[in-house]
């Protein structure tokens, strides 16, 4: 199973999709890719979740697969940490991230292929940027719930923001499948959050609140309302 997953992910990342539906068919393409790389369950049916694959996740993070996302060394280290079962990351969390990674890689591969189609170029570029953004939110997972850098959030506010980041990370496939305007807003917030964390001046929780303030043009109180809604979204 381990070899099948890694080989499948590498194949998807290195080959153009043989798929005729274009960007409109992305949800079905993602489903097909997940069924291919995640294999079959005990009953022989295709499965679309990564249950049972947590122990190989670290190998995947160190493989060529993750290089598709052009991460900085710090971001790549964050992905490796997020895909390692530890006191911070349960087996179930790691498996959810593997499934998320498969979805993002599928969306990225299809988008790159459709960039050359003029009628789909704008949508494809939007999806491509969204995959870049969402994998960076995953890379921040190991930094959540640590001591705040600027201390500009209360403990309660920081806890809510951490839970919102958990939800944000889990929305990978949903975000790339959104309409362009909504997707682009999620992308903008995610990339700004990562930028602020990489500056060393913000914790992930602080960065999320600050990024929403910048992206939405709102004050801290309103940004915290948005963070709470994100935390509670299904």
Q: pTM of the entire structure? A: 0.82
Cα distances (angstroms) measured from residue 29 to each of 21, 104, 109, 116, 186:
9, 11, 10, 18, 22
Across 133-144, b (16+ Cβ under 10 Å) vs e yields bbbbbbbbbbbb
Q: Does residue 147 register a pLDDT over 90?
A: no
Digit-coded pLDDT (tens) for 54-68: 666 666 655 566 777
Contact predicate 185/215, CB 8 Å: yes
Gap between the Cα atoms of 128 and 183, Å rounded: 11
pLDDT tens, position by position, 184-213: 999 999 999 999 999 999 999 999 999 999
Cα(23)–Cα(130) distance, integer angstroms:
14
């Amino acid at each position: 199973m381990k070899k099948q997953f890694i080989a499948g992910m590498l194949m998807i990342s290195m080959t153009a999709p043989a798929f005729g539906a274009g960007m409109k068919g992305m949800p079905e393409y993602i489903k097909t890719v997940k069924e291919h790389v995640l294999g079959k369950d005990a009953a022989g049916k295709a499965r679309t979740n990564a249950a049972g694959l947590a122990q190989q996740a670290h190998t995947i993070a160190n493989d060529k697969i993750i290089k598709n996302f052009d991460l900085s060394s710090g971001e790549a280290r964050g992905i490796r940490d997020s895909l390692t079962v530890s006191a911070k990351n349960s087996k179930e969390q790691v498996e959810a991230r593997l499934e998320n990674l498969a979805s993002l890689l599928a969306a990225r591969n299809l988008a790159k292929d459709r960039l050359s189609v003029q009628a789909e170029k704008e949508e494809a570029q939007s999806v491509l940027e969204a995959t870049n953004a969402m994998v960076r939110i995953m890379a921040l997972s190991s930094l959540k719930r640590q001591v705040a850098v600027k201390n500009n959030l209360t403990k309660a506010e920081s806890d809510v923001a951490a839970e919102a980041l958990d939800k944000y990370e889990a929305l990978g496939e949903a975000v790339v499948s959104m309409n362009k305007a909504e997707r682009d807003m999620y992308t903008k917030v995610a990339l700004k959050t990562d930028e602020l964390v990489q500056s060393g001046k913000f914790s992930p929780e602080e960065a999320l609140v600050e990024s929403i303030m910048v992206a939405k043009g709102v004050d801290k109180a309103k940004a915290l309302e948005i963070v709470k809604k994100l935390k509670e979204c299904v």
